[in-house]
Chains A and B, each alone.
Chain A
Amino acid sequence: MDVPGVFPEPLPPQVFTTGAQLLDLTDKKLVIVLRDGRKLIGTLRSYDQYANLVLQDTIERLYSKNLYADVPRGCYIVRGENVLLLGEIDLDKEDDTPLKQATVDEIYDAQRAENAYKKQREKKKAKKLHSLGFEAENELIL
């Protein structure tokens, strides 16, 4: 339990539980970032202490530089271990992002170009390191 003397005035304990934290976010429009980098936007309908989540009317939003695209996905149950963070979307600020909406295919193309560029840069770097005597143990998969 709490070590005596660490804090002078104990606050009501129910504030400091996973449930209380997520209760504020239920029925709100949230962006959920998953461990694999996916961004889901939906309404939080239920949860438990592991941050397992139930999302309704979910869309997946894809990003590439200043473009984004939405893919309708529907209802999700997300296992808690895959959740990075939940962010409450400010509905006033939502529409004035500098991003432009694009089609899914445009995003895929842009992402592919981006990945190819990154891969090339990694290759160059590995080559240079190799010439200096550093050996890459395994190829970077990202």
Chain B
Amino acid sequence: MLFFSFFKTLVDHEVTIELKNDLSIRGTLKSVDQFLNIKLDEIQVVDEVKYPHLSAVKNVFIRGSVVRYVHLPANAVDTTLLEDATRREAAAQANKAK
């Protein structure tokens, strides 16, 4: 659930999604759900000449299972907060296991 929460903090930021078929799409993150399906607005395909089928598309829904990487804007990521949250979640998991 941590990454779901994390992605929610990145809403309205510009991200680049690289899919498992090597297609890269840049756009504004609009929404994310529990499967890390992602909705992007005002999209731009990185290698547009190679992928003409998206030239008239303005927003996309990308299925979480086909995402390879999400390139994030560095200044939008608070690493200390993320580290804290990770430890807290790990601790919660450990408690639950007991």
Residue of B6, B32, B34, B53 touching A31 (CB-CB under 8 A):
B53
B85 touches A98 (CB 8 A): no
Chain A 1-22 interface mask (CB, 8 Å, partner B; 1/0): 1111111000100011110111
B66 touches A85 (CB 8 A): yes
Whole-angstrom distance between the alpha carbons of A16 and B37 in the complex?
10
Residue of A1, A21, A63 touching B61 (CB-CB under 8 A):
A21
A97 touches B89 (CB 8 A): no
Q: How many residues of chain A get a CB closer than 8 Å to chain B's CBs?
A: 42
Whole-angstrom distance between the alpha carbons of A33 and B35 in the complex?
18
A interface residue numbers (CB < 8 A to B): 1-7, 11, 15-18, 20-22, 24-25, 31, 33, 35, 37, 39, 51, 61, 63, 66, 68, 80-81, 83-90, 93-94, 97-99
> CB of B60 within 8 A of chain A?
yes
Beyond A11-B8, A21-B61, 7 extra complex contacts between A and B, CB < 8 Å:
A3-B88, A16-B4, A18-B33, A31-B53, A85-B61, A88-B57, A90-B56
Which residue of B is nearest A61, CB measured?
B53
Q: Least Cβ distance of A59 to chain B in Å?
A: 12
Q: Least Cβ distance of A76 to chain B in Å?
A: 16
Which residue of A is nearest B31, CB measured?
A21
Q: List 17 A-B contacts (CB under 8 A).
A: A3-B85, A6-B2, A6-B81, A7-B5, A7-B8, A11-B11, A18-B33, A83-B63, A84-B62, A85-B60, A85-B63, A86-B60, A87-B59, A87-B60, A88-B60, A90-B56, A97-B56
Residues of A contacting B39 in the complex (Cβ-Cβ under 8 angstroms): 21, 24
A89 touches B5 (CB 8 A): no
Whole-angstrom distance between the alpha carbons of A22 and B35 in the complex?
13
Residues of A contacting B81 in the complex (Cβ-Cβ under 8 angstroms): 5-6
> CB of B19 within 8 A of chain A?
yes
Q: Least Cβ distance of A117 to chain B in Å?
A: 15
Residues of A contacting B43 in the complex (Cβ-Cβ under 8 angstroms): 87
The 4 closest A-B CB pairs, nearest first, are A87-B57, A93-B56, A86-B61, A90-B58
Whole-angstrom distance between the alpha carbons of A99 and B52 in the complex?
8
Whole-angstrom distance between the alpha carbons of A6 and B33 in the complex?
16
Whole-angstrom distance between the alpha carbons of A97 and B9 in the complex?
35
